[in-house]
Amino acid sequence: MRPPARAGSGSVARGIASRAQAAGGDPEGGRVMKTDQLIAILAGDTVLPRRVVPRIFGFTAAGLVLPAAMALAILGVRGDLMQAMAAPVTMMKWLLPLGVALPAFVAAARLTRPQTRRVPMLWIALVAGIAAVTWLLLSVITTPAPELWPGVIGSSRQACLTSIISISALPLALAIRVMRDGASPAPMHCGACIGLAVGGLSAAIYALHCTEDAPLFFLTWYGLGILIVTGIGAVAGHYLLRW
C-alpha cells in the first residue's frame, strides 16, 4: 500500500506537477516520471535547504534544553566537574559523543535535500565510533578477569541508559517533525543520522552528572544508549520521512 502523501512540504510539493510534465512525466499522458527525474526536479528547488536546515538545528537545540535542564536538576552535576574535564581519559566522555554527534548532525541536515546519499561528514563520525570500539576492546583485553564484569556493569547503568534515552526523546521528535518538510532520498539513513546526533549530544549532557569514569563503563553504556537512539531515529525516518 502506498503511504499517504505528506503535507507541509512547502515549495517541494508546489509545482511538482508542472515540472514533471516538462521532465516527461505527465501522469495523465500515461508516462511515468523516473525516480532520477523526480530527484533532479527536487534538487533544483533552492529554497528547501535554506528553510529546513536552520530549523533542524534550532528545534533540536531548543528541544534539548528542557530535558537536559530537568535531568541535571534531578540528578545534579558532579562536584568535581572541572577536575574531571582536565583528565584526558575522563574528557573522552565528552569528546567521543560530540565527535560522533556533530558530524552526524551535519549529515542529517544535508540528507534532507534531494541529492546524492553520500555524505562525507559521516566519515568523521565513523572514525570516532571506531576509536571508541577499539578502546573498549583494548580495555576488555587488558582488564584482569575478576575486575572485568564489575567494571562493565558499574553502579549506575540503568540511570545512564534511561537518562540518555529520555533526554533524546523531545529533540529527536522535534527534529523528525521538521525534517518531514524536507525531501530526503534516504529516509531511514537520514533518521539514523539525526538519532545518532541527538544520542551523542544527550550522552555528553548526561556525562556532566556521571561520576563513573572507567572506560569499560562509559564506552559500553554511553555507546549502547547512543545506538538505541540511533535505531529509534532510523525507524522513525523509515516511516515518517518517506515522500
DSSP 38: H
pLDDT score of 140 = 96
Q: Measuring CA to CA, which residue among 71, 234, 189, 231 is closest to residue 223? A: 231
Report the C-alpha dihedral over residues 150, 153, 156, 159, rounded to 10 degrees: -170
Q: Say yes or no to pLDDT of 178 above 70.
A: yes
Mean local confidence (pLDDT), 123-137:
95
pLDDT score of 113 = 84
Q: Say yes or no to pLDDT of 242 above 90.
A: no
Cell reading at 208: 556532566
First to last CA, the chain: 14
pLDDT score of 43 = 59
pLDDT score of 51 = 77
Q: Say yes or no to pLDDT of 165 above 60.
A: yes
Place 159 in a pLDDT band, splitting at 50, 70 and 90: very high
pLDDT score of 98 = 97
Mean pLDDT of the chain: 85
Q: Say yes or no to pLDDT of 22 above 90.
A: no
Mean local confidence (pLDDT), 121-131:
91
Question: What is this structure's pTM?
Answer: 0.81
pLDDT score of 47 = 47
Residues 6 or more apart from 19 whose CB is under 8 A from it? 41, 44
pLDDT score of 243 = 76
Mean local confidence (pLDDT), 38-58:
68
Q: Are 132 and 98 in contact (CB under 8 A)?
A: no
Place 38 in a pLDDT band, splitting at 50, 70 and 90: low
Mean local confidence (pLDDT), 126-131:
94
pLDDT score of 216 = 97
